[in-house]
Amino acid sequence: MEPDLDDTVRAVPRPPVVPSGEDVDDTVVRGSVGLPPIPPALVEPPAPEARPLPVAVEPVAVDIPEDPAAAKPALRALFADGTEVLLDVTVYVGRRPSIPRIFTGPEPRLVTLPSPGKELSATHLELKMVGGALVASDMRSTNGTVVQLPGAAPRTLIRGESAVIVPGTRIDLGEGAVLDILPPLEEHDS
């Protein structure tokens, strides 16, 4: 036997329950009904009074300090092969270093290091002066960068990490690529 699918029952609507003797149409309107109030007219402020211009202006002496980075001699980087690089501009080090797409400032130096086993990344390390301090940044290299500050244990900078470095710091990029940060040459050493 098939089930009966048409078993809908329709109930008879019930009238609303209204207490006896009460008026159901008791809508109360408060406030005014109609057009919104008209905003006040815009009033122009009075024109300012004319003031006389000064006859002569005293010159002001401005003392512009010299750029502290320009006055201070630059640090140097000494590579394992004996190459010395001045760190007066941003330096990129790697197997095939390149300048980032977005770069401002003076043109950086690119230092290419041999990497027969391709352990060095193309652009492995950035050395950059930031506010009077030298900052070494790992350029998201594959194997990281080991930084050893003077008197401290070696520390590995991982992908994109940075560290402030000082003269006497040794930086190991791997595969024998080591560099030492040297103090600036003294004026009389030149």
Q: What residue segments make up the domains of the chain, in order of their start?
A: 76-181
84 to 55, 80, 111, 128: CA distances (angstroms): 60, 9, 10, 16
Does the reported pTM lie above 0.75? no
The terminus-to-terminus CA distance of the chain in angstroms comes to 111
Give pLDDT, residue 27: 65
Give pLDDT, residue 44: 75
Polymer length in residues for the chain:
190
Mean pLDDT by 10 residues, the chain (190 residues): 66 70 63 67 75 68 58 86 94 94 90 92 94 93 93 92 95 94 74
Give pLDDT, residue 188: 47
Give 102-152 pLDDT, tens digit per residue.
Answer: 888 899 999 999 999 989 999 999 999 998 899 999 999 988 999 999 999
22 to 13, 36, 125: CA distances (angstroms): 22, 35, 88
The fold for domain 76-181 equals: Tumour Suppressor Smad4 (2.60.200)
